[in-house]
Structure 1
């Protein structure tokens, strides 16, 4: 069973469009298949609003695309609902508007300027006025995992040793350890992002395709054939094998 997946986008609409161009070229050779976006649509990059609109409009026009929820997407909607509410998974000394997280860049794409340098109350009021309610609803409704064939697609990973149906949303969108160091067979090949790397890496039981678009790296798109993984380039497919 074939599918395509795209890693963490982080507000880079230009990279997302080019990733879809590579997928379209592969579909022209191999036939149609669903495209799964692994979340983190927003923060740090220059056009989070454009990324969300691009995905929403494609879905509205019937594209066979699935968009998962990432922790940054959750941080965005939580801020819009209540900036004072605690956020499971986020360090207590950080907030969505902290420079390390990148929320101010997201709000800038909606016309809310200098969000990280002003009091939270007026920034929150401006953000609520600027971000369309249907966009907030769409982001909140994103699924946290998607099963297809022999693979499961998720933003961050799973809590090892806990059945898939009992996983918490916090783990699915935030977890690193003990997931990253667990080399057991999870019952499916886990395809995820969240932990930024220099390039997509196959670990045997999981494949991480967050190639650091948030930090100036490329945005990875892969083709999945059963459990065979191929990175899509402008020249075509490159096999990605377990390290």
Structure 2
């Protein structure tokens, strides 16, 4: 038996509720896989990471997968990089649509208005000023303030998480896999970003692939894969799931609900 939680996206209260449901179903010490995207969009990314680190340090059988939003936060903290090659729109991580602003706010860097951007020659947003309650900051000033506020333990946590986890005949990844490519040849950009060529693929991958990344209204079983991103980053419920005796179930306040193939 193993439990899984999809994209948390800074929703600490939802995470707490999901953990209560898991504890009621299988006990607080039950094995649990988190599918990544712990940060951005929701109000308390800092609280989420604190809770995950606390569970790990308490010796819980918890496993953490790296998500694309976690990597964006990490890269911003390391070098001030606000972009990812997978974001064709050119949006900056600091744009509210991606949610970096709410992550920084959870560490006490409070926006006093929307970020201001220009565009570079590649059409990417380039920060000009970031209004905060501590003054208008340029990118270098914002990065320096974030580096002073974000605990090193949080960055170590984000950088140390693996890209996949296998257990009970299930493969846990953040976004999915590149069909037809052996697991040991999969690349990070696919494992944390893939949609094209993956979401419409119906191949048997030799094991059930359990992932998040692509937000749905509620978790779904697609036959060869299970998508557990129920849209918590957009305010929808964070729904945990469990694999037990060869079948998947979601957990609700009313108990287990079978998660069966939709096609």
Give the TM-score taking structure 2 as reference length: 0.88
Matches within 5 A, 1:168-183: 168-183=187-202
Q: Following the alignment from structure 1 to structure 2, what is the Cα–Cα distance between the partners of residues 124 and 85?
A: 10
| Alignment partner, residue 15 of structure 1 | 14
From the superposition, tell whether residues 155 and 226 of structure 1 become closer, same or farther in structure 2 (CA, over 3 Å): farther
Map Cα deviations across residues 106-141 of structure 1 (whole Å, 9 max, x no partner): 000001122852122211111010001121011111
1:192 counterpart (207, 211, 227): 211
From the superposition, tell whether residues 241 and 194 of structure 1 become closer, same or farther in structure 2 (CA, over 3 Å): same
- Higher mean alpha-carbon deviation, 220-229 vs 70-79, is at 220-229
Three-state SS of the structure 2 residue aligned to 1:74 is helix
Three-state SS of the structure 2 residue aligned to 1:152 is strand
Three-state SS of the structure 1 residue aligned to 2:4 is strand
- Higher mean alpha-carbon deviation, 225-234 vs 43-52, is at 225-234
Q: Following the alignment from structure 1 to structure 2, what is the Cα–Cα distance between the partners of residues 242 and 146?
A: 22
Give the TM-score taking structure 1 as reference length: 0.95
Any unmatched runs of 5+ in structure 2? 116-129, 131-137
1:78 aligns with 2:75: yes
- Higher mean alpha-carbon deviation, 73-82 vs 118-127, is at 118-127
Matches within 5 A, 1:3-152: 3-28=2-27, 33-84=30-81, 87-91=84-88, 93-114=90-111, 117=115, 118=130, 119-152=138-171
Q: Following the alignment from structure 2 to structure 1, what is the Cα–Cα distance between the partners of residues 204 and 85?
A: 27
> Which structure would you say has the larger Rg?
2
